């Protein structure tokens, strides 16, 4: 049994239930991303709010895109990306969607993820991730595309897609390859390693390890403050030069990237692994 599945070592029985039920009106009314703008600093705190684990689906991706649009419109000076959950930043792509979808729904999922990716990665203001809990798969990736990461001790972070049977999408490989030293990127991507914050800080996956969410927010604010005396046009031009390869890849190959993702998810091997992974998650408790 893989390390990640061992990591999922309690039992859960309600994923099947989840597939068969519709959300209650209360869940429907909840905003998927809460926005709180600090009038003094001008920073917006965006809290993912798709409980229990902030698994990423079309609606959450769209809510993130909308929140970034709002920040752009209001000429935000910076964003702190975090979560309302007490112990999970984001558990990555919604496994229910990977398990029960079809090529149309997977295309829509990836399309929405590309939009959210571009909004964050190409924003005209810096983003700092206050990683207040586990950040796995897509959750880790969304913290990686911020400009800074502070992570609370006691949780795990990593791109474990390979464990779920999905070949790593190109942009994830490109960005991990740039963030981590080459050897660590290779091992991490091909083995789907999950790291403690202390391990992650040694390989550049997180910048600071903190004791709680409050300290993570303080660190994020301190990072954003560093840009206050630098003209943002100069920062953005420089940042876009650094990030151009990934941004251009998605902008110029949007449909191919969607097709690659759908192909990777719909393969018999991936579907079998997703099914096994899903069952392991379900049988945890
Ligand atoms: C251009 C590209 C741009 C952008 C791309 C962006 C994003 C995409 C990134 C990558 C794409 C490539 C493919 C990615 C695949 C994935 O991301 S697969 C998901 C990977 N994630 C995981 O493996 C995490 C699995 N979950 C866990 O390990 C644990 O649940 C966790 C440690 C998070 C929390 O543990 P614990 O606190 O004990 O809670 P439970 O395990 O009991 O979970 C609570 C309920 O939540 C359900 N759940 C957990 N994870 C997911 C999930 N990912 N999707 C859906 N549901 C999930 C779990 O079943 C429990 O449900 P229940 O209460 O029983 O109903």
- Longest Cα–Cα distance of the chain, Å, equals 53
**What's the average model confidence in pLDDT over 165-174?**
93
Q: How confident is the model at residue 22 (pLDDT cuts 50, 70, 90)?
A: very low
Residue pLDDT, tens place only, 260-275:
999 999 999 899 999 9
Residues in contact with ligand 1 by the CB-under-6-Å rule are 8, 10, 12, 14-15, 18, 52-53, 55-56, 87-88, 91-96, 113-114, 117, 134, 136-138, 141, 160-161, 164, 166, 169, 171-172, 250, 281, 284
- The CA 88 to ligand 1 mean position distance, Å, reads 10
Q: Given a cut of 80, is residue 27 above it in pLDDT?
A: no
Of the residues 17, 63, 95, 273, which should be mutated to test ligand 1's pocket, given the most ligand atoms within 8 Å of the CB? 95
Spatial separation of the C-alpha atoms in residues 225 and 186, rounded to whole Å: 34
ipTM of the modeled complex = 0.96
Of the residues 188, 248, 281, 282, which should be mutated to test ligand 1's pocket, given the most ligand atoms within 8 Å of the CB? 281
What is the SS3 string spanning the chain? CCHHHHHCCCCCCCHHHHHHCCCCHHHHHCCCEEEEECCCCCEEEEEECCCCCCCECHHHHHHHHHHHHHHHHCCCCEEEEEECCCCEEECCECHHHHHHCCHHHHHHHHHHHHHHHHHHHCCCCCEEEEECCEEECHHHHHHHCCCEEEEECCCCEECCHHHHCCCCCHHHHHHHHHHCCHHHHHHHHHHCCCECHHHHHHCCCCCEEECCHHHHHHHHHHHHHCCCCCCHHHHHHHHHHHHHHHHHHHHHCHHHHHHHHHHHHHCHHHHHHHHHHHHHHHCCC
Which ligand 1 atom is at minimum distance from the Cα of 257?
Answer: 1
- The CA 202 to ligand 1 mean position distance, Å, reads 25
Q: Print burial letters for 29-68: b (CB count within 10 Å at least 16), e (below 16).
A: eeebbbbebeeeeebbbbbbbbeebbbbbbebbebbbbbb
What pLDDT score does 284 carry?
Answer: 79
Q: What is the residue with the minimal CA distance to atom 35 of ligand 1?
A: 8
- φ and ψ at 86, to 5 degrees? -70, -15
The percent of residues above 90 in pLDDT, for the chain, comes to 84
Q: Given a cut of 70, is residue 121 above it in pLDDT?
A: yes
Q: How confident is the model at residue 15 (pLDDT cuts 50, 70, 90)?
A: very low
Q: Given a cut of 60, is residue 57 above it in pLDDT?
A: yes
Q: Given a cut of 50, is residue 170 above it in pLDDT?
A: yes
Of the residues 91, 131, 271, which should be mutated to test ligand 1's pocket, given the most ligand atoms within 8 Å of the CB? 91
Residue pLDDT, tens place only, 64-112:
999 999 999 999 999 999 999 999 999 999 999 998 899 999 999 999 9
Q: Given a cut of 60, is residue 139 above it in pLDDT?
A: yes
Q: What is the pTM of this model?
A: 0.91
Q: Given a cut of 90, is residue 5 above it in pLDDT?
A: no
């Amino acid at each position: 049994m893989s390390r990640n599945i061992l990591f999922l070592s309690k039992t859960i029985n309600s994923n099947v239930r989840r597939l068969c039920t519709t959300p209650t009106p209360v869940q429907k009314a909840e905003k998927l991303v809460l926005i709180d703008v600090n009038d003094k600093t001008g920073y917006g705190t965006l809290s993912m709010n798709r409980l229990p684990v902030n698994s990423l689906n079309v609606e959450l991706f769209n809510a993130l895109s909308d929140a970034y649009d709002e920040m752009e419109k209001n000429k935000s000076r910076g964003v702190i990306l975090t979560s309302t959950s007490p112990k999970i930043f984001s558990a990555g792509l919604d496994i229910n969607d990977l398990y029960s979808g079809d090529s149309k729904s997977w295309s829509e999922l990836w399309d929405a993820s590309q939009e959210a990716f571009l909004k964050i990665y190409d924003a005209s203001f810096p983003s700092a991730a206050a990683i207040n809990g586990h950040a796995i798969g897509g959750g880790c990736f969304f913290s990686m595309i911020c400009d800074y990461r502070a992570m609370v001790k006691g949780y795990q972070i990593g791109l474990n897609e390979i464990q779920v049977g999905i070949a790593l999408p190109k942009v994830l490989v490109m960005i991990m390859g740039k963030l981590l030293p080459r050897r660590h990127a290779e091992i991490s991507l091909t083995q789907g390693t999950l790291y403690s914050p202390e391990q992650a800080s040694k390989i550049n996956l997180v910048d600071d390890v903190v004791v709680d969410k409050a300290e993570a927010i303080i660190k994020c604010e301190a990072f954003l403050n560093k840009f206050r005396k630098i003209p943002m046009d100069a920062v953005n031009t420089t940042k876009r030069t650094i990030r151009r390869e990934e941004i251009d890849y998605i902008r110029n190959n949007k449909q191919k990237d969607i097709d690659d993702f759908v192909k990777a998810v719909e393969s018999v091997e991936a579907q079998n692994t997703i099914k096994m992974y899903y069952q392991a998650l379900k049988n945890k408790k």
